[in-house]
Structure 1
Amino acid sequence: MTADKEERICVGAIAGAFGVQGEVRLKSFCAEPTAIAEYGLLYTEDGSRSFKVRLTRPLSGGLGARLSGVATKEEADALKGTNLYADKSRLPKLPDDEYYYADLIGLEVRDPGGAVIGKVAAVHNHGAGDLLEIRGPALKETLLLPFTLANVPTVDIAAGVLVADLPEGLD
């Protein structure tokens, strides 16, 4: 069974070639970086290519890896910047209070009274915690909301909704 792109989660990216024999420098987006090699085949965003990953060594800022079908430095260089996606079904099940970014994107955002604020357009993390990027016709500009329990007391993936209690000054 082949998964659709929507059933895949971005787990890493190819940062470029390493060495001259087709090895790549891999950036892992996994909580445990080496877990990226445990998720089976990894796919390009459009699903046109897939790779088996074999980690070779730790590198500064990433991991050295061999990808199936990549044998030369030129082939590895050509993949620089390529995001890698794993089938969501191969990823670990998360605790009830944790979410994959892909599950949050597209959720309708409502205030505690039920009024629609907008939709989650993206999730960002610049090191200090997750920020929800919320866009909607009721907003003058894009809203960046820290994804904390105080700001987002309810997330209902099945219903496609999250409740945002906006801090004063953000509404």
Structure 2
Amino acid sequence: MAAPGAGDKVALGRINGVWGTRGWIKVFSDTNPPEAIFDYQPWLLDDGAETLQVAEWRRQGPRLVARVEGIDSPEDASALIGRSLSVLRASLPALPADQYYWSDLIGLQVVNLEGHAYGRIQRLMETGANDVLEVAGKSGTVLIPFIPEIYVKSVDLAAAVVTVDWPLDWIDESDAVED
């Protein structure tokens, strides 16, 4: 199988350990809820040239563990530790026009209502109170609460721009980047 391009994949999580003596793996999930990682099959490993099919999975205390087809020993499973897990974007359910996956926002330019560009979205974080955009600018990182209609005014995937109500005087002006 030829490896899919980076834009064809959506990150799901990673393999972070071996569990038991029969080749089960510990899975760290970036999905919400964490168990949703098992809804997407097959998993692509790293660049996507290899795939894994989950045979069964379960919660084991606070962690998720899985048995994957073709992996039957701790030695085989240990070769997977640290590998990233993704899925083909085409296998995700279609969303209504006004919704998007977090992965769609990574790399988008963030501008405020006055047109000042802060940088590009590096990641989104869950904080409990609200989600937060981590925006990398030329002089550092700006954290902006991802609260639609309050701070996030629009998301235009076609133009690759997120418009925010976040005045320059709320941050160090040197963080703003030029277009």
Identity %: 35
Report what 1:166 is aligned to: 166
- 1:170 to partner: Cα distance: 2.9
Q: Secondary structure at the match of 1:122?
A: strand
- 1:125 to partner: Cα distance: 2.7
Report if aligned partners of 1:37, 1:55 keep a CA contact under 8 Å in 2. no
Q: Secondary structure at the match of 1:158?
A: coil
Matches of 2:141 and 2:30, distance apart in 1: 25
Tell me: CA distance 1:70–1:124, structure 2 relative to 1, closer, same or farther (3 Å). Answer: same
Report what 2:157 is aligned to: 157
Report what 1:20 is aligned to: 21
Two-structure CA RMSD over aligned residues (Å)? 2.3
Q: Secondary structure at the match of 1:47?
A: coil
Tell me: CA distance 1:99–1:170, structure 2 relative to 1, closer, same or farther (3 Å). Answer: farther
Which range is displaced more, 26-35 or 151-160?
26-35
Q: Secondary structure at the match of 1:166?
A: coil
- 1:169 to partner: Cα distance: 2.4
Q: Deviations over 1:62-103 (max 9, x none)?
A: 322111232210121232232210111212234555432321
Select the structure that is richer in strand: 2
Unaligned 5+ residue runs, structure 1?
Answer: none
Which range is displaced more, 119-128 or 82-91?
119-128
Report if aligned partners of 1:109, 1:118 keep a CA contact under 8 Å in 2. yes
Report if aligned partners of 1:109, 1:117 keep a CA contact under 8 Å in 2. yes
- 1:23 to partner: Cα distance: 0.9
Matches of 1:77 and 1:128, distance apart in 2: 37
Specify the code of the residue in structure 1 equivalent to 2:147.
T
Which range is displaced more, 145-154 or 3-12?
3-12
Tell me: CA distance 1:61–1:27, structure 2 relative to 1, closer, same or farther (3 Å). Answer: farther
| Match runs of 1:34-113 below 5 Å | 34-95=35-96, 98-113=99-114
Q: Deviations over 1:115-164 (max 9, x none)?
A: 32222122223444322111223xx4311111111111111111100101
Q: Secondary structure at the match of 2:140?
A: coil
Report if aligned partners of 1:56, 1:65 keep a CA contact under 8 Å in 2. yes
Q: Secondary structure at the match of 1:26?
A: strand
Report if aligned partners of 1:101, 1:123 keep a CA contact under 8 Å in 2. yes
